[in-house]
Chains A and B, each alone.
Chain A
């Protein structure tokens, strides 16, 4: 009797363990390669580099960051990104509105606009290196209307705007698709009612569309911001290498530069920690601001 019970109980035990077996690899990978490095990195940022490797230096790295003009430029550029964020959200939002309202050709636009979003930043950057060359297509078009030529990537006052512009070119299709998904949940009768009442286009956008899409708009704000702070490395890498005169540094480029090129991993860790805090603050701020504006409607 005991021998006939044993396989059953063994099976029962295997069944009890099965959920843990199923999640074990995932847990292991996320803990060892994501959560643990986060702790390790914060710890690491309080130690020294080179000869001081492993020695606690307190806030030394952070003080060095605060005095490093390149790092300060990268933070200033983050500020610029935050300022330009509403534009980067409004463009796909407006385009999605017009596609939703069936502008002539609306079917084609959706696919066309989305297409750069699948390209790697390196490909996009490489293509725009050609487009923005001093005697390239863009300057030729501008020359035809009597403007320029502009040194898009060589002028420290312009280069960062150029890179942001290229980033927006490459990613607005992503936000557009999210907006369109939001529009598909929109109550069409609301829109019809507004039309019947003779509402103008901007009244419709302001009083019908924006209030009904609050959640979508929040989502696009947050994901666009994260995208700007974490996926412009490829563009900087191939278009400017942080130049000219360090004007296009972003924290991610700074971190990579300190770790990979200057062999300053502890300093890079401190910059990582600052970036994490900046992202948390910006993210939380956005969510509270958007919540509040959503409630007012």
Chain B
């Protein structure tokens, strides 16, 4: 079918251009981060003459990105750990155990899935403020857990549904309590799903702007993404340092992407095929 072959080759050109347009902005930013201010003003496009780390150091230490990085790291680590723990517990109960109210609880989780943060951000901030949790790490961690728990429970439940009930029954007959079944059987069997969901939640929390801006606003508590924005004002005339800050904030995510791309894609598509 010659027409088809021609169409494919014709499509290859715009697709290659698009691929370039996808990669180039980040390469440009990385290149700018390696330039001196003078070089940037003279010619922002030419490749930097050497790998200069001065700007990166300035952004990391001078502009406080180290502090923001630590804030993000603490909050994301605790949030994701809690999400995986609570999500797998609930997912196990909702998929494998029969108890009164389980379908109502599952419906409640689904309802939670369809409430966007923007719709509840004012009252949520107030609820957290009443608990003295605004501008604290636990407050932001709770906000993230609440935001991504419905999705986590949903995916863990659908993963655990695929595990045959006989496995649980056999473990019960062997004398395991339900908690024992969770710890010895369900957690190990849940690892593939926990990895996918964990990576996605890490990306969601790490990349979040709005929730962190609302719940942990003070300068000391800024997470990395808010830090990038404050860098913009601070270094508006020093673009190479600004670009370095952007690079610092992007690198952890790029690492995750490079090594775990397949898992991210699996997590994203899980909802579309199972839903």
- A216 in contact with B246 (CB, 8 Å): no
- A22 in contact with B90 (CB, 8 Å): yes
Rounded to whole Å, the gap between the CB of B14 and the closest CB of chain A is 9
* A66 CB–B CB distance under 8 Å: no
Q: With A and B bound together, what is the CA distance between A33 and B119 in angstroms?
A: 12
* B189 CB–A CB distance under 8 Å: no
Question: B interface, how many residues as a size bin?
Answer: 35 or more
Interface centre among B87, B122, B256, by most chain A C-beta atoms within 10 angstroms, is B122
Q: With A and B bound together, what is the CA distance between A274 and B123 in angstroms?
A: 15
Write out the residue numbers on chain A whose beta carbons fall within 8 Å of the beta carbon of B123: 36-38, 40-41, 44, 269
* A59 CB–B CB distance under 8 Å: no
Write out the residue numbers on chain A whose beta carbons fall within 8 Å of the beta carbon of B206: 120
Given contacts A112-B23, A238-B232, A276-B116, contact A200 B3 (CB under 8 A): yes
* B167 CB–A CB distance under 8 Å: no
Q: With A and B bound together, what is the CA distance between A118 and B263 in angstroms?
A: 12
* B81 CB–A CB distance under 8 Å: no
Given contacts A25-B89, A234-B210, contact A169 B109 (CB under 8 A): no
* B145 CB–A CB distance under 8 Å: yes
Q: With A and B bound together, what is the CA distance between A173 and B150 in angstroms?
A: 24
Selecting from B54-62, B97-105, B190-198, the interface stretch reads: B97-105
Chain A contact residues: over half helix, strand or loop, or mixed?
helix
Q: With A and B bound together, what is the CA distance between A276 and B256 in angstroms?
A: 33
- A34 in contact with B120 (CB, 8 Å): yes
- A11 in contact with B213 (CB, 8 Å): no
Which residue on chain A has the smallest CB distance to residue B268? Answer: A177
Write out the residue numbers on chain A whose beta carbons fall within 8 Å of the beta carbon of B9: 104
Which residue on chain A has the smallest CB distance to residue B214? Answer: A260
Within A106-153, which residues are at the interface with B (CB < 8 Å)? Answer: 108-109, 111-116, 118-123, 126-131, 136-137, 140
Q: Which of B45, B90, B250 contacts A119 (CB 8 A)?
A: B250
Write out the residue numbers on chain A whose beta carbons fall within 8 Å of the beta carbon of B1: 195, 198
Which residue on chain B has the smallest CB distance to residue A91? Answer: B18
Q: With A and B bound together, what is the CA distance between A145 and B76 in angstroms?
A: 46
Write out the residue numbers on chain A whose beta carbons fall within 8 Å of the beta carbon of B45: 137, 140
* A226 CB–B CB distance under 8 Å: yes
- B115 in contact with A26 (CB, 8 Å): no
Which residue on chain B has the smallest CB distance to residue A259? Answer: B122
Write out the residue numbers on chain A whose beta carbons fall within 8 Å of the beta carbon of B163: none
Rounded to whole Å, the gap between the CB of A94 and the closest CB of chain B is 8
- A32 in contact with B118 (CB, 8 Å): no
Q: With A and B bound together, what is the CA distance between A128 and B25 in angstroms?
A: 7
* A4 CB–B CB distance under 8 Å: no
Q: Which of B16, B99, B150, B246 contacts A123 (CB 8 A)?
A: B246
Q: Which of A34, A127, A174, A238 contacts B115 (CB 8 A)?
A: A34
- B116 in contact with A229 (CB, 8 Å): yes
Which residue on chain B has the smallest CB distance to residue A273? Answer: B119
- B124 in contact with A33 (CB, 8 Å): yes
- B143 in contact with A33 (CB, 8 Å): yes
Interface string of B226-269 (1 = CB under 8 A from A): 10110010000001001100100110011011000100110011
Write out the residue numbers on chain B whose beta carbons fall within 8 Å of the beta carbon of A233: 118, 209-210
* A185 CB–B CB distance under 8 Å: yes
Within A217-263, which residues are at the interface with B (CB < 8 Å)? Answer: 219-220, 223, 226, 229-230, 233-234, 237-238, 251-252, 255-256, 259-260
Q: List 27 A-B contacts (CB under 8 A).
A: A22-B178, A26-B86, A26-B89, A27-B105, A33-B143, A34-B120, A98-B8, A104-B12, A109-B15, A111-B261, A113-B22, A114-B264, A114-B265, A118-B207, A123-B249, A130-B28, A131-B25, A178-B268, A200-B3, A200-B4, A233-B209, A234-B210, A234-B225, A255-B121, A259-B122, A268-B122, A269-B123
Which B residues contact A (CB, under 8 angstroms)? 1, 3-4, 7-9, 11-12, 15-16, 18-19, 21-26, 28-29, 32, 44-45, 86-87, 89-90, 92-94, 97, 99, 102, 105, 108-109, 111-112, 115-128, 142-143, 145-146, 149-150, 153, 177-179, 182, 203, 206-210, 213-214, 217, 225-226, 228-229, 232, 239, 242-243, 246, 249-250, 253-254, 256-257, 261, 264-265, 268-269, 271-273, 275
Which A residues contact B (CB, under 8 angstroms)? 11, 14-15, 18-20, 22-23, 25-27, 29-38, 40-41, 44, 95, 98, 101-105, 108-109, 111-116, 118-123, 126-131, 136-137, 140, 169, 173-174, 177-178, 181-182, 185, 195, 198, 200-201, 216, 219-220, 223, 226, 229-230, 233-234, 237-238, 251-252, 255-256, 259-260, 265, 268-269, 272-273, 275-276, 279
